[in-house]
Structure 1
């Protein structure tokens, strides 16, 4: 009897130890859980920052595309992006000329829309307060396996404002958030303005860009085919729900916005749309149908495209299945062309200097910091 009791006691003790270890080691505890990359962009929208905004609009898709190749313990992580603007005189003085433009979202079309809505105006840039605000307002979560980063870009001294940037960065580190600083201007000027110190204290990277540099888009032999496939891809989307039609229109609008910048931006956006990071389950039937809990019975037919409104539930299911197969085929073709395109671009980039463009510095920083949390490419 004593032996039996002793065995039970030891078993309970062992299980308690395992539970405690798992609780205190969330990366191990969530081994089967997909991690999330959370990126908050804090952009200076004062008078001189038009070039910065233009680079952000043009290069969003390339940044997302690089993240689509990331793996964490063999799985592709989720991506959420938040956006702030600061330093603009049309913003509230009480809020320190800082505005949350978009909370964390995986809706990439929404982020693109917001970037295109940004306008510049004179103002005061308070970096410390901008960082503190983003830490307090955004839902960063407590998962130690998630990659949490702030990228703050501007061209005034980092020390301005009533909030000491050192205090804000201390709060960021307590939440496992890495601070990266991007000074728009001369490298040494950024150092004297404490931008390098901000990155050093925040465990991130100090970078400089020429915000007024004309972006060099590399045209490849594969671009036209990708653009054609993108148009076919768009036809596979089937909206539903209250916001479905407006989201569908927003998707088309962001294609138009990309085209207004350059055809190569359309190509990069199309590559994003062929990746797992571009998911529109909240309004698209094809993406939504991948969820085992999705119910066709709850659909309101008046909120569907006109050509689906008179179909039976089974007919709608069959049509969605057909569109799913077609989309998958198109996405695979885009991905194959993208691989060839990437090799072509890599070769050409050796001949061009892209070191001081927004896309280049952000991608480099993300890859470097991601390795510390077992992310790989």
Structure 2
């Protein structure tokens, strides 16, 4: 009898210790800060996860500062994704959509809301649409623009995708006939997180329901000074990167009906970034050296990297003059040379940028803008829930 009692006590002791250990493990996990989360275990995906960001910008009279921040800080946000990884160590896709609201030039019957761009991974197109935005006084209906973005955009149903709305403005969140609560709760049901960015004081944003809009949808509420000028620090590496960007542009070979227009668009967006400030052009060049800058729709080098690429299906009359009349073998050789040249230039840009960042760190200078900081803070926190992490 004593023998059985002893065994029973031992089993109970083992069970108690094991249960306590498991409880402690769960407790530690639940209190792990987002910024300190470690790499998740390798995960198998049905398809590669995509980060989908819908940017809803107030373009009423007082929002020039917000629009300028969006134009200049787009590249900072894209560049941060170069360090993002999925649970299987691959890079997530990135798509950005753009809406404007609160502008008198927009149709009143649409609630002064306009889809400027559906989800796109084309960085030149996103940049072009941002630069096309202008401000004009109007009515800002937050519930309406969120509602329309839910209806019109192709969000998809992949549970591994990180789907986010960022809405920025400075008028009460309650304006308009569409109840914002209904809109944000609808977003939450679709696994879409709504983050609100109030352009003004934190308390005023709380009092005008911007915080409530975020909390209802499981998102982040942030307040920024949209008129704050970001102080960009010049470094000895800026001119080097600008020069390398010109070399990078020379590796693109246009083709198809879009080719001529799109290669001109690439140059135009370079020029517009430079017009804002040289540092903005530098950051755009860094984005162009990453895997997120892909132009397979109009660039023959990027197109040739696709598994289903068939040079025989390319209409030769749409190629640049230098390739017209060339044989397929000659074109393939030229493509291989340009591909190698591009990879070399991209590597040089990344190396120069690493030195640039080290220089800024040594100078203890922070170039982070208000909009960029707010968005990246929310993205990183919400990415952890989808097993995305930053290196």
Give the TM-score normalised by the residue count of structure 2: 0.87
Q: How does 1:234-245 map to 2 (within 5 A)?
A: 234-245=249-260
Q: CA deviation at 1:347?
A: 4.6
Secondary structure of 1:277's counterpart equals coil
Q: Does 1:363 align with 2:363?
A: no
Secondary structure of 1:282's counterpart equals coil
Distance 1:353 1:242 in 2: 40
Partner of 2:340: 325
Distance 1:71 1:353 in 2: 24
Distance 1:310 1:220, change over 3 A: same
Q: CA deviation at 1:339?
A: 2.0
Q: CA deviation at 1:300?
A: 1.1
Distance 1:36 1:353 in 2: 27
Q: How does 1:1-377 map to 2 (within 5 A)?
A: 31=45, 33-73=47-87, 74-348=89-363, 350-352=364-366, 354=368, 357-377=370-390
Distance 1:251 1:313 in 2: 26
Distance 1:195 1:32, change over 3 A: same
Distance 1:202 1:218 in 2: 37
Q: CA deviation at 1:344?
A: 2.9
Structure 1 unmatched runs, 5+? 1-27
Distance 1:139 1:353 in 2: 34
Distance 1:161 1:68 in 2: 39
Residue pair 2:232, 2:367 contacting (<8 A) in 1 also:
no
Secondary structure of 1:203's counterpart equals coil
Q: CA deviation at 1:29?
A: 9.0
Secondary structure of 1:268's counterpart equals helix
Q: CA deviation at 1:351?
A: 4.9
Q: CA deviation at 1:140?
A: 0.3
Distance 2:367 2:252 in 1: 38
Residue pair 2:233, 2:367 contacting (<8 A) in 1 also:
no
Please identify the structure whose Cα radius of gyration is greater: 2
Secondary structure of 2:220's counterpart equals strand
Distance 1:123 1:188 in 2: 24
Q: Choose 218-227 or 51-60, whichever is displaced more.
A: 218-227
Q: CA deviation at 1:308?
A: 0.7
CA displacement 1:244-267 (0-9 Å, x = unmatched)? 110100000000000001110111
Distance 2:167 2:58 in 1: 8
Residue pair 2:172, 2:208 contacting (<8 A) in 1 also:
yes
CA displacement 1:287-323 (0-9 Å, x = unmatched)? 0000121110011122111111121111111101100
CA displacement 1:150-205 (0-9 Å, x = unmatched)? 00000000011111111101110111101010111111111101111111111111
> How many residue pairs are counted as aligned between the two chains?
349
Partner of 1:11: none
Residue pair 2:230, 2:367 contacting (<8 A) in 1 also:
no
Distance 2:366 2:313 in 1: 53
Q: CA deviation at 1:32?
A: 5.9
Residue pair 2:233, 2:365 contacting (<8 A) in 1 also:
no
Structure 2 unmatched runs, 5+? 1-41
Distance 1:35 1:268 in 2: 25
Distance 1:213 1:118 in 2: 19
Distance 1:51 1:240, change over 3 A: same
